[in-house]
Amino acid sequence: MNAMQENEINDRGDAFRPVAVVTGVGSGIGLAAALGLARAGYALVGVVRNGKRAEETRERILSDVPDARLRLVAGDLGRQREADRICDEILSILQDDCGGRLDRLLYAAGTVTSWYTATEDDYETQFAVNHLAAFRMGLRLREALSASGDGRLLVVSSGSHYQGRMRWHDLMRRRRYHLLAAYMQSKLANVLFVHGFNRRFASDRLRAYAVDPGLVNTDIGAKSTSGLVRRLWDSRRRKGVSPEQGAAEAIRICLAPAAPTGPYDYYKDGHPIRPSAASLRPDAIDRLWTVSERLCGLEGAGTAPDNGKAKRGIEADKGIEARRERPCEAVCS
Ligand SMILES: NC(=O)c1ccc[n+]([C@@H]2O[C@H](COP(=O)([O-])OP(=O)(O)OC[C@H]3O[C@@H](n4cnc5c(N)ncnc54)[C@H](OP(=O)(O)O)[C@@H]3O)[C@@H](O)[C@H]2O)c1
């Protein structure tokens, strides 16, 4: 069983308890954010990688917030089918326990991978976990967020997106894979996604944010990495803030009485700040949207605003598609 059924997140007396979905809730920024939201009275649906993580996370959250309303869904977000199944389970929990409403979606799952690895869908792992699963969840849970009347989608991006470049002809980085280049691209994709989401769906009922937590002392650089990268990360992470401090901006946006609005959708240290020029390009925003729809099998989930440059890029992607056989290579090689 993947959804832990012990306690419903809302009972009859809880009809108006706000509800948040948090991914990456097993550790680091996701766990710290979940604890902050639970303390603030949010009912939580957390996404963890597997059943063992679910048990540890349940214990951790309930030991800190004994009356937390918590459901956990386990699965590998890097696998398209599992990410889809996770969305199904979350939607069913929301339907059963909260009338289909979702107030906050915080995508804090993420990975750093030293070597080129591909998921079962043949997608590069960092791109699949850090971007595609966020894209899928944002789109699949969008109606539930809208039903809130004040739905907020938050994606944990990174200051490293400023150095990120979309390698459109090889999004999966099969050629000359480099950990940092792939990571930065995935973090730039987070910001492009947030911009694309707001261009299509932002209203006074729904808004998306990219959050920059700064350097945070977590295990992220020590999980799927080589000994050298682990040693480098070990010395670098000590300069970082605690996960609680790293989660503060996401919690602030979640708890703000009114949805923050500012000149940018990228937030750090309590302020909207200007994200990279690459993340603001309308053609790149729409091109990534269209490619991601295709990679996730969610075509038509948000109509691209009319944009000549984006269309030319998309037509080029279609040309690639016609020449290739594998669905992944079709859109991103
Ligand atoms: N730490 C920093 O300095 C920093 C700076 C900027 C941005 N960020 C971003 O912050 C986010 C959270 O990172 P963190 O530093 O808090 O690291 P973390 O503690 O490793 O958190 C990442 C979480 O994502 C989960 N996860 C990874 N791959 C998954 C998969 N395939 N399926 C399901 N869950 C998966 C991990 O689960 P497991 O532990 O079970 O693998 C973990 O709980 C990431 O997006 C990262 O890019 C971090």
For residue 108 and ligand 1, the question of a CB distance below 6 A is answered with: yes
Q: Is residue 292 part of a domain?
A: no
Compute the distance between CA of residue 252 and CA of residue 211 in angstroms, rounded to an integer: 11
| Sign of the alpha-carbon dihedral angle for 322, 325, 330, 333 | negative
Task: Determine which residue's CA is closest to atom 7 belonging to ligand 1.
Answer: 158
For residue 110 and ligand 1, the question of a CB distance below 6 A is answered with: yes
Q: Quick one: pLDDT at residue 8?
A: 60
For residue 158 and ligand 1, the question of a CB distance below 6 A is answered with: yes
pLDDT at residue 51 greater than cutoff 90: yes
Q: Is residue 274 part of a domain?
A: yes
pLDDT at residue 68 greater than cutoff 80: yes
Task: Determine which residue's CA is closest to atom 8 belonging to ligand 1.
Answer: 158
Report residue 292 as tokens: 């991601």
CATH number reported for the structural domain that contains residue 249 in this entry = 3.40.50.720
- How many domains, in total, are found in the chain? 1
Ligand 1 atom nearest to CA at 25: 43
Q: Is residue 180 part of a domain?
A: yes
Q: Is residue 299 part of a domain?
A: no
Task: Determine which residue's CA is closest to atom 13 belonging to ligand 1.
Answer: 110
Q: Is residue 306 part of a domain?
A: no
> Using CB atoms within 10 A of its CB, is residue 67 exposed (0-12), middle (13-18) or buried (19+)?
exposed
Q: Quick one: pLDDT at residue 9?
A: 63
State which of 220, 230, 232 you would mutate to test the pocket of ligand 1, scoring each by most atoms of that ligand within 8 A of its C-beta: 220
Dump pLDDT digits (tens) for 9-35. Answer: 665 455 578 999 999 999 999 999 999
Cα dihedral value 298, 31, 279, 126, nearest 10: -60
Q: Is residue 51 part of a domain?
A: yes
Coil, strand or helix at 279? helix
Distance from residue 298's CA to the centre of ligand 1 (Å): 25
- Which residue range(s) make up the domain with 16? 12-280
Q: Quick one: pLDDT at residue 304?
A: 52
Q: Is residue 56 part of a domain?
A: yes
Q: Is residue 178 part of a domain?
A: yes
